[in-house]
Amino acid sequence: MTNPYVPLLFLAACGVGFAVVSVLGLSFVGPRRYNRAKVDAYECGIEPTPQALGGGKVPVKYYLTAMLFIIFDIESVFLYPFAVAFSKLGLFALVEMVLFILTVFVAYAYVWRRGGLEWD
Amino acid sequence: MIASLSGLTTEFVATKINYGAVLPMLVVFGAAMIGVLVEAFAPRAVRYGAQVGVALVGLVAAFMAVVLAVGHQGSTLAGAVVIDGPALFLQGTILALSVLSVLAMAERFDGIGADAFTAQGAAAPGSPQESAAVRAGATTTEVFPLTMFAIGGMLLFPAAGDLLTMFVALEVLSLPLYILSGLASRRRLLSQEASLKYFLLGAFSSAFFLFGAALLFGYSGSMDLGVIAKAIGTQSGMDGLLVPGVLLVLVGLLFKIGAVPFHSWTPDVYQGAPTPVTGFMAACTKVAAFGAILRFVYVGVGDSRWDWAPALWAVAILTMVVGAVLSITQTDVKRLLAYSSIAHAGFVLTGLLAFDRVGVSSVMFYVVAYGFSTIAAFAIVSLVRDGGSEATHLSQWAGLGRTHPIVAGAFAFLLLAFAGIPLTSGFTAKFAVFSAAIGHGATPLAVVGVLASAIAAFVYVRVIVLMYFTESGGDSVRVVPPSILTSAAVTIGVAMTLVLGVVPAPLLDLASRSALFLR
């Protein structure tokens, strides 16, 4: 019987290897065709300009959407194992999960009613 | 390893929940949820009234639930929450102080919205959006649900039975406070600066707490305070994890009470935050954080105290001395009260270091006494104004005793309580912690404490002299006549300061009867 941690180490090595090979390998085999957009700083979603509009302030609405996404992301993180084990969990877990979803929807209702979902 | 993995496939057993024991927290969180829904669905005109009503009803109901929970003591939710004497005493304290804080926050001087808070927190100071929000009569009524969420975290903090629950409670109470600090209606930039500083340093200290918890998990194999306590007697050869773990967790907790050298945020945040929020933070956060430190130190790692108590001694001495000495140099009344709160944190640590049941009860009595005085003091600060904004510079308080004798008299009385003059709660509280320290081998701490009290007393007396025996600088400073809300908060705070000074026995009895931790 090998040490139970050996597979874990193997997985870690695979992960590190994948990252190193992808990053280093790309610089060897990838084509190098530069244009203006390529040298911009990459910020997903926000138009990069030397000086953002409004005196360097970034609009808060993008982060609002991102936070809302994370809330539902975390909800699904809990929902998935719950769904897999549902047959063993019984009524108690169902009630708990409904309560959990309810609290998330309270936050969602607040964002929706206060105009957090309107882009402009 | 393999056996424990296969254990995952066994039958699911639902955790037993003692609903009676956790009811106070459920009520407060429920009220916070209702507050969010009010914010979402109620029309703007009724929001303020609805929010204040929901918050106050929720707090009173939760207080009654705490009284009922006396019959439901025990460890529940798989050991994550421990409802015992100290937990219930401190939860009741937090709820009582929170009622006063919410009263002070709701003050609006017959204006449109809650007066201390900005019309729209998201608008940049001085921007067109901000003036549009002011014209529209907007007010940040979100402060009430935010406060309720913070109170919910505070209730959980001293009742946390394991380090992970304690961390969650720490975050639940901290995050709303970071936001609340940035919502002052005047001097908005100072307020936002305070909020950012508090957030950055708070996040930093949370990381310390987590790192310490990880080390203690490595030492004992559990986050549960009871299991950690058992491991201290039996585990050998892992001491390299124990002491650093304890110290790192203590860093996270001492940050919240503002002990030196983790105090640097205190004056800036206390000055920048809306004054009622400052009172709330100074009173309720300290109660909750001292409850958590008591539980961590007395239930969790007390048996190893010979290894780390010297560090806590040093922190206590530094806190008392630095807090008292630096308060001499302050010219802003909010900063002065901030340094005074640092010194008081040091006095409370003295009682904690007695490592005895008397230490627990003296700490609990002290936070009650200090909490009532400090909320009233900050409520008075919010009344003294020059033009529209608070006159926080000490020179503006000159001659207040002649122009506004009642307000100045109440403030002078509270300052005497902070100084520890007999017939105020401050004297009884200091007597309790220092006698606990002297009775259990911490006499040097008590000596430093008395000396630091003397230094601090000089500061308080100087402010009283300034109010009564100095000519007023100008006529522009005046006391805004408060509504019933602030009047009630100040009156109750002052009355409790007097009552706990004259007849402290009932509360001292209650504290000593409920000073036993469930292990």
Question: Is there a domain that residue A27 lies in?
Answer: no
Suggest the residue from B2, B9, B12 to mutate for an interface test with chain A (most A CBs closer than 10 A).
B12
Contact A60 B37 (CB under 8 A): no
Q: Which of A86-90, B338-342, B347-351, B375-379 has the lowest mean pLDDT?
A: A86-90
Q: Is residue A91 part of a domain?
A: yes
C-alpha B346/C-alpha B449 separation (Å) is 8
Burial class (CB in 10 A: 0-12, 13-18, 19+), A2: exposed
Q: Alpha-carbon distance B312 to B318, whole Å?
A: 10
pLDDT band, very low/low/confident/very high, at B2 (cuts 50, 70, 90): very low
Q: Examine residue A42 and state whether it is found in any structural domain, yes or no.
A: no
CB of B36 within 8 Å of a chain A CB? The answer is: yes
Question: Does the beta carbon of B14 lie under 8 angstroms from any beta carbon of chain A?
Answer: yes
What is the pTM (predicted TM-score) of this model?
Answer: 0.89
Q: Which of A84, A86, A97, A113 to mutate to test the interface with B (most CBs of B within 10 A)?
A: A113
The answer to whether residue A110 sits within a structural domain is yes
List CB contacts (< 8 A) between B40 and chain A.
106, 109-110, 112-114
CB atoms within 10 A of CB B461: 15
- Whether A117 maps to a domain, the answer reads yes
A73 found inside a domain: yes
Supply the range of the domain harboring residue A89.
50-120
Q: How many CB atoms lie within 10 A of CB B127?
A: 14
* Contact (Cβ atoms closer than 8 angstroms) between residue B398 and residue B470: yes
What's the pLDDT score for residue B1? Answer: 37
Is A86 within the bounds of a domain? yes
Interface residue of A2, A5, A106, A120 to substitute, partner B, most B CBs within 10 Å: A106
Q: For A4-27, how does the pLDDT look when each residue is reduced to its tens digit (9 = 90+)?
A: 788 889 999 999 999 999 989 888
Determine, yes or no, domain membership for A15.
no
Contacts of A90 in chain B (CB under 8 A): 12, 14
**Neighbour count for residue B145 (Cβ, 10 Å):** 24
- The DSSP code for A30 is S
Closest by Cβ to B40, choosing from A92, A93, A110: A110
Do residue A110 and residue B12 have CB atoms under 8 angstroms apart?
no
Domain count, chain A: 1
B16-53 pLDDT tens trace:
889 999 999 999 999 999 999 999 999 988 999 999 99
- pLDDT tens-digit profile of B472-493? 766 678 888 888 999 999 999 9
Percent above pLDDT 90 for chain A: 26
